[in-house]
Amino acid sequence: MPRLYGPGHFTEDPYSQVVSPHGIAVDDLVAVLQKEIRRSRIDNAVLAAYEMFTTSADVAQHLWRRLRVIAVEDVGMGLPLGPVLIDVLHRNFNATPGGDWMMACHAVRLLASAPKDRTSSEHADWVVAKVALGEALVEVPDYAHCVHTRAGQELGRGLMHWWDNGAQVRDELPSADHRYREELIEIHRRDEAENGTAPRPSRT
């Protein structure tokens, strides 16, 4: 009986049928790349990337697709701006005819040397599995029914309700300057006192 989770048969991956100039299957190169980045083994990760780069233009782009995934799946919050950096390096790579290998090399070194955090990947997979099993589903708390939703408007909720409930944040920056908020709240308080909480007229 086949398992319920994880990847499908290798024949579903076209890169399992492609080999590098040195006769290495590209799906193996992808596996080497990702496992070596996870283990911070920079040299072999870079060698795997170079083998992909020299195989074909298509495989070189597949390298970048994997680096985009790795930046989130394996590095994650260890380098929160990693996906942005990989995107910029990929753009620079593409700006050179045939691709700029140094950009790819730097991307691999960046990810392999970064602190690792796989919790986004684990959380994403957990959600998919739990929802499919019927063991988890998003909750809609009462404070979500605010002035921005049909349910909130039908309850007569306006901006003052939103300031008191919907606008609440946790882990707020300690240095946040709320001078503008206090003035906005007073403007909205006067508006609702004079005009009520019914939606404003359409601007169209």
Tell me: do 16 and 94 sit in the same domain: yes
pLDDT of 200 reads: 87
Place of tokens 């390298």: 63
* Both tokens assigned to 72: 């989130």
Beta bridge partners of 19: 25
Give the CATH number of the domain where residue 27 resides: 1.20.272.10
pLDDT of 30 reads: 97
| Strand, coil or helix: 167 | coil
**Is pLDDT at 140 greater than 90 in this prediction?**
yes
Tell me: do 41 and 100 sit in the same domain: yes
> What does the alpha-carbon distance between residue 93 and residue 65 come to, in Å, rounded to a whole number?
13
Q: Which domain holds residue 92?
A: 10-120
pLDDT of 11 reads: 77
Task: Give the residue from 90, 120, 150 where a domain finishes.
Answer: 120
Q: Which own/partner contact pairs does 181-188 have at CB distance under 8 Å and 24+ positions apart?
A: 185/160, 188/158, 188/159, 188/160, 188/163
Examine residue 201 and state whether it is found in any structural domain, yes or no. no
Express each pLDDT in 146-173 by its tens digit: 999 999 999 999 999 999 999 999 999 9
**Please, what's the largest Cα pairwise distance for the chain?**
77
The total number of structural domains in the chain stands at 2
User: Which residues are CB-contacts of 79 (< 8 A; sequence separation ≥ 6)?
Assistant: 71, 85, 110, 111, 114, 115
Tell me: do 146 and 116 sit in the same domain: no
Beta bridge partners of 25: 19
Tell me: do 148 and 58 sit in the same domain: no
pLDDT of 60 reads: 97
Examine residue 126 and state whether it is found in any structural domain, yes or no. no
Tell me: do 78 and 17 sit in the same domain: yes
What is the DSSP-derived secondary structure letter of residue 16? G
Mean pLDDT of the chain: 94
Stretch 31-60: mean pLDDT: 98
> What does the alpha-carbon distance between residue 50 and residue 107 come to, in Å, rounded to a whole number?
12
**Is pLDDT at 8 greater than 80 in this prediction?**
no
Tell me: do 81 and 182 sit in the same domain: no
pLDDT of 163 reads: 95
User: Which residues are CB-contacts of 156 (< 8 A; sequence separation ≥ 6)?
Assistant: 197
